[in-house]
Amino acid sequence: MIIIRKAIPVDALELKKLHVKTYQISYRNYMPDDYLDNLQITKENVDKFSDYIKNSLVFVAEEDCIIKGFINTTPQNDDILEINAIYIDPDYQKQHIGTLLIDTVLKDNPKYKKCILWTMKYGPSREFYHKMGFQPTLNEQKWKFDIELIMLEKSLI
């Protein structure tokens, strides 16, 4: 049974491992192979993420003490919550873990009127976000390697 809980600083190493694994598999055809192959987990980036967890809203999806995914968010203002990242271990994707994480974050933050996120315009996650009720906006930007990103939003009222 999947348990959703708030992350704690000692989760940082497992979350960084999951982050790198997800990047290397899910973004394989979207980012250069040499970049993906050289992603590393360092003490510095684990410590930085541990500090981030202390001051942010990060939830993990866990089953039998195995972290299978995580989501982190930040408020943009009093009305808008932004999903900064959601990563599901590729071995556990398509098992509704992402849905559970988003639903938990939105239920845990009932004061917001809108939720936004940025995703690859032509990337692997866009269909999932569409099924979750997120719609494209006119906001677009370039990211690493000139990848096109689009902002999606979901009304919460």
What CATH number did the domain enclosing 35 receive? 3.40.630.30
Q: What's the domain count of the chain?
A: 1
Q: Measure the N-to-C terminal CA separation of the chain; round to a whole number of Å.
A: 30
- What is the per-residue pLDDT for 116? 98
4-27 mean pLDDT? 96
Pairing of strands 114-120, 66-75: unpaired
Give the mean model confidence (pLDDT) for residues 2-17. 97
Residue 110: CB atoms within 10 Å: 7
Please tell me the number of Cα atoms within 13 Å of 49 on its side-chain side.
Answer: 23
Note the pLDDT of residue 108.
82
Taking Cα atoms as reference points, which of 58, 53, 47, 55 lies closest to residue 6? 58
Q: Which domain holds residue 29?
A: 3-155
Q: In the predicted model, is pLDDT for residue 55 greater than 90?
A: no
What's the whole-number mean pLDDT along residues 6-30?
96
- The CA distance from 118 to 108, in Å, is 21
Q: For the residues 132-140, what does the mean pLDDT come to? A: 97
Share of the chain above pLDDT 90, in %: 94
Strand ordering across the sheet containing 114-120: 3-6, 57-63, 66-75, 80-88, 114-120, 148-155, 135-142
Instruction: Please give the Cα distance from 17 to 68 (Å, whole number).
Output: 11
Global model pTM greater than 0.85: yes
